[in-house]
Chain A
Amino acid sequence: MKLANCFVEMRSFLLVSVALLLFSAQAFSPANVRMSRLGALRASTALGMSNGGVVITGSAGGVGFAYAGEFMDRGYDVVICDVKDCTSAARALADRHPNGKVFHTKCDVSDAKSVDKLAEFAKKNLGNVNYWINNAGINGGRRDLRDVPISQVELVVKVNLLGTLLCTKAAMEVMGQQVRMAWIL
């Protein structure tokens, strides 16, 4: 019995030591240099690891803005974007939610080039995009379809439907290539 206990203790001691060794190795080894070569890899800062990256469209205000705060409180880094300027929204988020970082850019989700730029911006600033929330949307005004200007009809379809398709396509492109380094143990 005693001998068995001794083995169990020895084994756990060994496991802990190996874990400690590997942990310190991560901080110091040249592997960090190697990691930077993998574009999709999340860069961990010396101050603390991010839990992951989030992109939220249409997040200068409303529920998109509120999602950003909730993600940041949980240690996620967030990219907010909108057709409107997001500078003050980003400042408010950074002040209230210090657990996560916020990055902001302008994006018109109905424009393919603008969406591509958003995806690039997200990759560059977040590393990995774990969540992409297609939140941007407009209602085009509440009236009889016969009284809705054609420009509004087009805009609602472009933002709500085409925008979701373009963003989904861009997000899938990014997400398909994402990897992280993991321990073999």
Chain B
Amino acid sequence: MDLVRKVMNRIDPDLYRYQAGVTGHIFNTVGSGVKGGGTPGYACYGATKRGLPQLTESLVKELDEGVQGYEKKQTPGKIQVHSLSPGMVFTKLLLDDSTPELRKFPFGVLAAQPEEVAADLVPKILATTKNGGSVEFLTTDRILNKFFERFVLQKKSEYIDDDGNVIKVPGEQYDELGVRSLY
């Protein structure tokens, strides 16, 4: 090793090394209202979420093509912007101000636990290589499957009981809204 070290110390590192640009990925989280449908009770929330794919789309074009009349920005690091859709997750954001009816449907059918959503989405985030990508938990396939299990197979929800209450798993901690503590 000592010999290797001596030899390598004599070689200018610039001869065999160079700076390569790194690609950074930005993900913007969308939510209810993003596709333009009304979100009664959540007018502000829906309006902010509806704007995000438009923002992402603008940035994708700015990054890929630049802005007309200006020189396209050249940077050593590359940037990509994408959309991220976790769907409905059993968190404070979902359960706050909710009713038993809402918890039975849609939450009881479509909502998932944070760990399940993250385990599905992070590999998809890491696999995203094209600017303007879209990563989602509730794919059409998954929605159809959940509807089939609930309404055709009559399978009960693991998380919401028949009265629309959060099912509390023994050993886990829940707050007054029924949000499970993750730590």
Contacts and interface: CB of A to CB of B under 8 A. Distances in A.
B9 interface: yes
Contact of A140 (B23, B27, B45, B52): B45
B96 to A, nearest CB: 7
Contacts of A145: 43-44
A103 interface: no
Interface in B1-53: 1, 4-5, 7-9, 11, 13, 15-29, 31, 41-45, 47-49, 51-52
A5 interface: no
**What does DSSP make chain B's interface, helix, strand, loop or mixed?**
mixed
Interface residues of B, number: 65
Interface in A157-172: 157, 160-161, 164-165, 168, 171-172
Given A61-B182, A179-B21, A168 B26 contact: yes
Most interface-central of A88, A140, A165 (chain B CB within 10 A): A140
A178 B182 contact: no
Contacts of B75: 176-177
Contacts of A157: 44, 47-48
Contacts of B169: none
Interface in A68-105: 69-71, 74, 88-89, 91-92
Interface of B: 1, 4-5, 7-9, 11, 13, 15-29, 31, 41-45, 47-49, 51-52, 55, 59, 73, 75-79, 81, 84, 86, 89, 91-93, 96-98, 114-115, 117-119, 121-123, 125-126, 181-183
